[in-house]
Structure 1
C-alpha cells in the first residue's frame, strides 16, 4: 500500500483547511473536491479532532496519518504513554503489539533500537509513515515487522532490554475481553517464552482486569501500576524486572503537568491496622486508582484516617493536614432521604449525589427525589460502622486533581 498516493499533499492540506468543521456536515455540504476523496479526508478530520485532546503532540504534525476510529479508541493517550516511558530504559526495545505505535514512540524514543511488530498490515504501513517523521533526526534504528507476536518471539534469536506488550482485548465477535487467558497474545501461557527474550517486560492490561487474579497467573511480576486520568482508571501496567524484591503497587493520578502517586506493598496492606469511626468533620474519597489498587487499609494508615465501615471505602477525620490523594468533603449535617426535607434544603433540586456501600444507586436516588447533579454541595449516602445507613450533606473542601 502506497500511503502517499492516498494521503497526498492536496488531501492533507484539505484536512488542515477544514480542521474546525464538522466532518459529517462537510460531507453533506461539499459533494466533490477535485482530486480528493472526501470520505477519507472527513475521517482524517474526525480523527485529528480526537487527537487534539488525546495526542496533542502528534496532532501538531500535519503529515501524520491517523488510523480508523477503533485504533484511535484503543491506543494510549499521550499522558499514559509518556508515563510508561518513565518506567523502563535501555538500548533495545520491542513492542510486540505495535498498533497505532503511540506506545512504540513514547517508550522507544530514548532507545537506540526499536522493533515494532504488528499483525495488521495497514497499521504497519501507518507506523512506517508516522514513525519515520516523529523519530527523524534522533539516530534510532527502527525495524517494522508484519507478523504474529508469538511466532516472531519463537523464531527470533534476538534479546531485548525491554519488551512491551498490549494484548488485543477484542473477541472474534468484537466483544471486549479482560482476562489475560482470553487475550492475544496470552502472556500467561507464553510467559517463559517472553521472559527468555527480554530483561524487562511491561504489560498493559484492561482497567477491568482483576489485579489479584492476574498476579496469580504472573507470579514473577515486580510492580503493578494503576494509572488514572481525571479520576478514571485508564490502564493497568504489570512490570517484570527480574529483581528479587517485594511486589510494589503504585496508584497514579495523572494530570497534564503533574502526577499524584500512592504506593504500597501487599505486605503493608495486609498488616495495616484499620480504625473505624462514625463521620467526623471531614470525609475523604480516595482517587479511583487507589481503590482499584486495593489500598483499603494502607490509605487510612498513611493519612491518619478512620474508615466508616469495612466495605465503605470512605475515610474520616477531624483534621486534614496537607494534600491528600483524593477528594476531601466537609460534613455539614446528616439528612433524611425525605422529599420534604430535600425540597427545603435544595429548592432548585440541584445537588451532587454519591453513594458508597448503599442500597440505592445515585441515579435511583436522583430519580425518586427529583434531584439533578449541580451546585456546590453533595449528598453522600453510605453505610456506617454500626451497620446503619446515613445520608450526609457535604461541601467539597479539596479536589486535588
Structure 2
C-alpha cells in the first residue's frame, strides 16, 4: 500500500481524472514523484469498477482501491445487503476469507464485532484503512489464515462464520466444492464447533443438490440474482439442524426485491398443470430456475406449464407479482408456418425446449435482433413445435 496515493494533491488528481481511460493515464508521465502512472491508473480503474458495484466506496473521499482482481471477486453492495439480514443484532462474526471486505462491512452494521481474516497483508492493510474512512469501527482486520485463526479460537467463540472459498487454486479454476480453498466440506465439523451458524458464499454455477449432499445441517439455501443474472448461492448451516432445507430465491431488479421459497420435498410432491398458450406468458427469473422451483412456482401463481421440459408458463388471468418477465400473447403459430411466410423481420428470440438454436433460427428466417416483439420458440403439450409471439408487460 503506497500511502503517498493518499496525499491531498494525488487524491485531487485522481478525482479530476476518474472519468478518463485508465490506459490513457498509465501511458502518460506521472506528475508525482512518489506515485507512478500505473498506480494512478489502478486507482482510477478501481473507482470506475466501483461506481455501480460499490457506490458507497466510490462516493466516499479517500478510498484506496486494491488490485482489480480483488474488486472483480468481491460481492456487490446489493448482495451484501442480503447477507446483513441473515445475522442477529449484536452478534460475533468472523469472516474467514475477508477479501476487499464488502460483506464484512455490511455484516459489521449488525454485529458487535467482525473479525476480518485475510492472508494478503497488503489487502488487509487497505481494508483496515478503508474501514476507518467508512467509519466501520467494529471491523478488526487480521492478516492471517482464517482456518488457522479459527483452530486457535475457543469453541463457541463466534455466533456466525462467514466464508467465501476461492474457486481459483494454483492459478486454475476448480469446480468441485472440495477443491475450493478453504475446503468447507472437510472443515465443517470445525466450523460448527466454533460457531452455531456457518454462512458459505458459493459459486452460482454449483449444483445445489450436489452441495447439499456434501454439507451437513443446512437449514437454508439462498439463490440471489441481480437483473436476471445469478450472482451467488448462500448455504446457511445451523449446528444440530436435521430438518428439511428451505430454498429461498431472491430476485433483485430495478431497485426492487422479490422472494420465493419452497422445499425440494414440496417440489417433488407437486403435479404440474399443462395448458396450451393462454392470454399471458411468464418466463421465470434465473433465481427461480437455478433454485429448481419449476413446479412450485406454477402452483403458487396458478399457472399452467407450456410443456414438461419448457419452463415457461401461461394463464388467462394476469399475475403481476410473478418473479420474472411477463408477456401478453399476441399470436401462436406452428413452427412449420414460418417456412411459408415470416411476419417478424425483427424480434427478440428465445428458445425453450426447442431443437434449433437462436442463431440458427435468425439466420434461417432472416430475423434481426431487437424491436418490441418477443418470439418464444418452444414445444406445446401436444409435442408440436410452435412460436409464441408476445409483447413484454414487465
Match of 1:19 in 2: 18
* SS class of match (1:199): strand
Is residue 74 from structure 1 mapped to residue 70 from structure 2 by the alignment?
no
For residues 34 and 121 of structure 1, the distance between their equivalents in structure 2, rounded to whole angstroms, comes to 25
The answer (yes or no) to whether the contact 2:298–2:313 under 8 Å persists in 1 is yes
The answer (yes or no) to whether the contact 1:79–1:256 under 8 Å persists in 2 is no
Q: Structure 1 residues 326, 255: closer, same or farther in 2, change over 3 A?
A: closer
Runs of at least 5 residues in structure 1 that lack an aligned partner in the other structure:
none
The answer (yes or no) to whether the contact 2:26–2:37 under 8 Å persists in 1 is yes
Q: Deviations over 1:179-219 (max 9, x none)?
A: 21110011111110111111211100000000000000013
* SS class of match (2:230): strand
The answer (yes or no) to whether the contact 1:312–1:382 under 8 Å persists in 2 is yes
Q: How far did residue 27 of structure 1 move?
A: 3.4
Q: Structure 1 residues 127, 353: closer, same or farther in 2, change over 3 A?
A: same
Match of 1:165 in 2: 163
Taking structure 2 as the reference length, the TM-score comes to: 0.93
For residues 113 and 250 of structure 1, the distance between their equivalents in structure 2, rounded to whole angstroms, comes to 27
1:14-53 maps to which residues of 2 (within 5 A)?
14-28=13-27, 30-35=28-33, 36-53=35-52
CA RMSD of aligned residues (A): 1.8
* SS class of match (1:116): strand
1:271-282 maps to which residues of 2 (within 5 A)?
271-282=269-280
Match of 2:371 in 1: 375
Q: How far did residue 7 of structure 1 move?
A: 4.1
1:176-215 maps to which residues of 2 (within 5 A)?
177-215=174-212
For residues 316 and 42 of structure 1, the distance between their equivalents in structure 2, rounded to whole angstroms, comes to 51
Is residue 224 from structure 1 mapped to residue 246 from structure 2 by the alignment?
no
Q: Deviations over 1:78-108 (max 9, x none)?
A: 1001111111124211000000111110112
The answer (yes or no) to whether the contact 1:285–1:326 under 8 Å persists in 2 is yes
The answer (yes or no) to whether the contact 2:277–2:332 under 8 Å persists in 1 is no
Match of 1:149 in 2: 146
Greater than 6 Å deviation, 4+ residue runs: none
For residues 238 and 123 of structure 1, the distance between their equivalents in structure 2, rounded to whole angstroms, comes to 26
* SS class of match (1:188): helix
Q: Structure 1 residues 256, 163: closer, same or farther in 2, change over 3 A?
A: farther
* SS class of match (1:264): strand
For residues 256 and 130 of structure 1, the distance between their equivalents in structure 2, rounded to whole angstroms, comes to 28
Q: How far did residue 256 of structure 1 move?
A: 5.4
Q: How far did residue 377 of structure 1 move?
A: 0.6
* SS class of match (2:233): strand
Match of 1:99 in 2: 99
The answer (yes or no) to whether the contact 2:6–2:62 under 8 Å persists in 1 is no
Q: Structure 1 residues 74, 306: closer, same or farther in 2, change over 3 A?
A: same
Match of 2:119 in 1: 119
* SS class of match (1:341): coil
Q: Deviations over 1:335-368 (max 9, x none)?
A: 43636522xx23xx32000011111222222233
The answer (yes or no) to whether the contact 1:3–1:125 under 8 Å persists in 2 is no
1:379-394 maps to which residues of 2 (within 5 A)?
379-394=375-390
* SS class of match (2:168): coil
Q: How far did residue 45 of structure 1 move?
A: 0.7
Q: How far did residue 370 of structure 1 move?
A: 2.5
Q: How far did residue 9 of structure 1 move?
A: 3.0
Match of 1:251 in 2: 249
Taking structure 1 as the reference length, the TM-score comes to: 0.92
Q: How far did residue 69 of structure 1 move?
A: 1.5
Runs of at least 5 residues in structure 2 that lack an aligned partner in the other structure:
none
Q: How far did residue 155 of structure 1 move?
A: 2.0
Q: Deviations over 1:31-89 (max 9, x none)?
A: 33133421111111111011010000111112111111211111100100111111112
Q: How far did residue 173 of structure 1 move?
A: 3.0
The answer (yes or no) to whether the contact 1:12–1:41 under 8 Å persists in 2 is no
Task: Find 1:269's aligned residue among 267, 270, 294.
Answer: 267
The answer (yes or no) to whether the contact 2:118–2:142 under 8 Å persists in 1 is yes
For residues 326 and 255 of structure 2, the distance between their equivalents in structure 1, rounded to whole angstroms, comes to 21
The answer (yes or no) to whether the contact 1:109–1:135 under 8 Å persists in 2 is no
Q: How far did residue 271 of structure 1 move?
A: 1.3
